Amino acid sequence: MNKTNSAYLVFVTALLCATLFVLLSCNDSEKRSEAKVFCYNESNGINSLDPAFARDIEVMWATNQLFDGLVELDSNMKVVPSIAQGWNISEDGLTYTFRLRQDVRFHPSPMFNDTSGRKVIAADFVYSFNRLMDPVLASPATWIFSSIDFTNHGGFEAPDDSTLIIHLNQAFQPFLGMLTMQYCNVVP
C-alpha cells in the first residue's frame, strides 16, 4: 500500500470513529427524558438573558422564549393580550389600565423558595418597569418610558394584584405597541 492510500485509510477510519462517537454520545434518551433543559441554538451568541438588555436580535429571540409581557404582536402585527387579559385607554390617552390574567406564573425558582411558580402580579410589572429606569442598571430601554408621568403615582401603579395602571404625561399613540418590546417583559 502506498503512502497516499495509507493516509486516506487513516483519515476515513478517524472520520468513521468520530461519527460513531458523536452518534452514540448524543443518543442518551433515558437521560433526556429526565432532564428539564431548554436547548436553544444561536450561532451569534447571547450576551444576556435579561429582558432589560434585549437590544440585539439574538437576545430578543432568546428572552422571548423565557419571558412574556403585558401585550404582544400577532402574526398580522396587531397588538394582542399576553399576560394582560385586556386593557382600557382613557379618552385623553394619558392613562392605560391593564387587567392581568390570573393563570400566569413565573418559572419555579429555589432563589425565591418557590417550587410551583409564583403567580405574576401587577407589582411585578411596576418592579420590572422601574428597574428599566434605574440608572444603576443602565438598561438601553429607558427611552421607552420617556412619556411616563412620574409625578402621578411614580408613573406605574398597582392598586391590586390584577390591575396595572400606567400614567403618561402626554398622549402617545405608539405606546401600546412599544410595550410589546422584549424590554417590557416582566421579571420576578
pLDDT along the chain (188 residues), means of 10: 62 63 57 64 74 80 84 95 97 97 87 79 96 90 92 93 97 95 90
Is 182:154 a contact under the CB 8 Å cutoff?
Answer: no
Q: In the chain, at which residue ranges do the beta strands (DSSP E only) sit?
A: 71-73, 79-81, 84-89, 95-100, 156-160, 163-167
Q: DSSP readout, 53-76?
A: GTTSHHHHHHHHHH---SEEE-TT
Residue 106 to residue 59: CA distance in whole angstroms: 19
pLDDT at 113 (0 to 100): 75
pLDDT at 147: 94
Beta bridge partners of 105: 119
